[in-house]
Amino acid sequence: MRYKKKKRKISLFNFLVLLFISAGIIVFFVYNIIVVNSLAVENNNLKTDITKVTGINNNLQTEIERLSNIDNVKPVAIDKLNMKFPVSKPKKIVISKTELENTVK
């Protein structure tokens, strides 16, 4: 005798539940892909910004070194601020701790 395979019927409710769960999983994965792509774009933009700011900082550091060079500061100090090189050696001042405490009180 031959055994006949019984076709098992899937209920409509189980089919719809399976369909909604599958759709939810698919939507979740697509959403994750979109979020990861947007974060990758944002990450690349931030790396570009960091590179630009680093370049600007390097340029500003070079400018500081150039402007703080004694050859640039000396003419401004002498001509505009009327500063002069000291003629005598600086004097050493000694203040005792007790004198300092007395003046503060």
**For the segment 52-78, what is each residue's pLDDT rounded down to a tens digit?**
999 999 999 999 998 888 888 888 888
**For the segment 5-63, what is each residue's pLDDT rounded down to a tens digit?**
667 777 899 999 999 999 999 999 999 999 999 999 999 999 999 999 999 999 999 99
| Sequential DSSP letters for the chain | -PPPPPPPPPPHHHHHHHHHHHHHHHHHHHHHHHHHHHHHHHHHHHHHHHHHHHHHHHHHHHHHHHHTSHHHHHHIIIIIS-----SSPPPP----HHHHHHHH-
Each domain of the chain, given as residue ranges in start order, spans: 12-104
Query: Which residue has tokens 């209920």?
Result: 11
